[in-house]
Amino acid sequence: MKIEFTKMQGCGNDYVYIDGARFHIPMEKKPDVVRWLSNRNFGIGSDGVIFINPVADGSADFEMEMWNADGTRSEMCGNGMRCVGKYVYDKGLTRKEHVKVVSGGQLKYLDYTIEDGKVVLVKVNMGQPILTAEEVPVVSDNKQVIDEEILVQGKAYRMTCVSMGNPHAVVFMDNVADLDIESVGPYFEHHARFPRRTNTEFVKVIDRQTLEMRVWERGTGETLACGTGACATAVAAMLNGLTEDKVTVRLLGGDLQIEWDREADVVNMTGPAVIVFEGSIILP
């Protein structure tokens, strides 16, 4: 089967995008297809694959069907959501400048910054941060996990747990640049306290408007950026009194602007979306 694809990235968080209305891959085959496409040696190479699907009942303009590089499903990806927004506008699938996209049953609202007829920035209303431990989910005796100790390989860390539609454990540290994330990341991801595994953000506070973040993504490993992780990190910093309610999150792949509107209880994320290259490929 020959399909067309678009490789896109948001702050270096890269996915293969496929128009699900044009190219139908049976669900039972998708895990193997996703692993093959995502492989950086034998496939296209990416942090995963995102299918952009029509929504029959009209409750949203499009569906984002997200898969991790290891062939597992994920509920949400902020960088992926921005790229979906650029894809559908730049390719003429919509002329709306305010678009509704559903992913994992969650409806997100997108607004565009357009230059020369192309989308250059996308603002996503990421919705309400989920703080209740059992909804994140994270195992805890407390209703919320804010600056709570966790033992990983016998070492004590302090974490704040937030869901932005997917689980995040945010750990504040004095130095993230020298962190051996390949060693510690998997142990956080598969820790017994996270029944659905977790994404883990390791964060340094630069000042009250700026955070530096590295991320270990569930099912993928370290990535250059994670939009939901940046949102969770900003909320965690604000909950701990470390920053103001609007911050710049510095990621390995670029910067994201995150604002938590506490009155409306929604998190807004603004950042770039870029087409890297396009082509066609014959599936194995």
Residue-wise pLDDT tens digits, 249-273: 999 999 999 999 999 999 999 999 9
> Do 91 and 160 lie in a common domain?
no
Give the pLDDT of residue 20.
98
Give the pLDDT of residue 71.
97
Q: Quick check: 193 and 218 in contact, CB under 8 A?
A: no
- Per the structure, the count of domains in the chain is 2
Give the pLDDT of residue 185.
98
Report the CATH number that the domain containing residue 14 is assigned in CATH.
3.10.310.10
> Do 108 and 29 lie in a common domain?
yes
> Do 179 and 235 lie in a common domain?
yes
> Do 49 and 108 lie in a common domain?
yes
Nearest alpha carbon to residue 106 among 137, 86, 80, 128 = 128
> Do 95 and 137 lie in a common domain?
no
77 carries an active-site annotation: yes
- CB atoms inside a 10 Å sphere around CB 155: 9
Choosing from 11, 83, 161, 226, the catalytic residue is: 226
> Do 120 and 195 lie in a common domain?
no
Give the pLDDT of residue 117.
94
Which residue stretches of the chain have pLDDT < 50? none
Give the pLDDT of residue 39.
98
Q: Quick check: 159 and 168 in contact, CB under 8 A?
A: no
Give the pLDDT of residue 186.
98
> Do 9 and 79 lie in a common domain?
yes
Counting Cβ atoms within 10 Å, is residue 180 exposed (0-12), middle (13-18) or buried (19+)? exposed
> Do 208 and 250 lie in a common domain?
yes
> Do 31 and 104 lie in a common domain?
yes
Give the pLDDT of residue 66.
97
Give the pLDDT of residue 223.
95
Choosing from 77, 83, 161, 231, the catalytic residue is: 77
> Do 139 and 212 lie in a common domain?
yes
> Do 161 and 258 lie in a common domain?
yes
Give the pLDDT of residue 199.
98
Please write the tens of the pLDDT for every residue from 144-169: 999 999 999 999 999 999 999 999 99
161 carries an active-site annotation: no
- Domain containing 181 equals 133-264
Q: Does the predicted model carry a pTM greater than 0.75?
A: yes
